[in-house]
Amino acid sequence: MTVDVLNIQGEKTGRTVELPGEVFEIAPNEHAIYLSVKQYLARQRQGTHKTKEKGEISFSTRKIKRQKGTGTARAGSLKNPLFRKGGRVFGPRPRNYDVRLNKKVKQLARRSALSAKAQGGQLIVLEDFTLETPKTREFVKILNNLEASNKALVVVSGYDHNLYLSSRNIQDASVINASDLNTYAIMNANKLIISENAVSMIREKFAPESL
């Protein structure tokens, strides 16, 4: 797949880049994408939720009232879940939400997500650029020039401190290193902006022969 390279003004530079077909032109596997996104979201959960059950409540163990003759039900402990501040029945306990996923399935999911964006016209290849100083206004201007102001993901080949600082205050845009690219980030973006150098990194990391 041949794609035009744009500059930060949103204009064609006259150059093109060849996107590897084994990464950007496969038939997207929706189930693999679903499993990978499910694993990502599951790993965001800490799983530290906990409520106290009857045996963990610190209350007096004295009998509340006599067994019979009150006209009401028997009550033997303030820890009873029926009482206010009593233990909770079948409350949540700490657990691990991690979902196990085969490495090849995760690779397939990333290639499927990249192919879906490329085939859907949601992929832009941008020439490499740097910001001299952290300027959110400059980064917003670039996104507007590329018509990618709504949920844009910028994929770069290395860590750019100024670019990161310029983008972190924008809710609908993020910058990610090509080596850290994941299926959720790709699918969550409406526009995928990849720098020229990042294309070769994606080819090396996600091509089938690298498995």
> Is residue 210's pLDDT more than 70?
no
Mean pLDDT of 145-170: 90
Residue 192: closest CA among 151, 145, 144, 138: 151
pLDDT at 100: 93
Provide the whole-model pTM.
0.82
Domain map (residue ranges) of the chain: 2-46+98-210, 51-91
pLDDT at 211: 44
pLDDT at 209: 58
pLDDT at 193: 94
What percent of the chain stands above pLDDT 70? 99
Residue 159: band (very low, low, confident or very high) from pLDDT cuts 50, 70, 90: confident
Domain at 2-46+98-210, CATH class: alpha beta
pLDDT at 172: 86
Q: By the 8 A CB rule, do 109 and 99 touch?
A: no
> Is residue 31's pLDDT more than 90?
yes
Q: Tokens for 105? A: 């399935």
Sign of CA dihedral 57, 63, 67, 70: negative
Residue 4: φ, ψ to 5°? -70, 145
Mean pLDDT of 148-161: 89
Query: What is the rounded CA–CA span in Å between residue 26 and residue 182?
Result: 17
What percent of the chain stands above pLDDT 90? 62
Mean pLDDT of 7-13: 90
The model's pLDDT over 65-103, given as tens digits with 9 standing for 90+, comes to 899 999 999 888 889 998 888 999 999 999 999 999 999
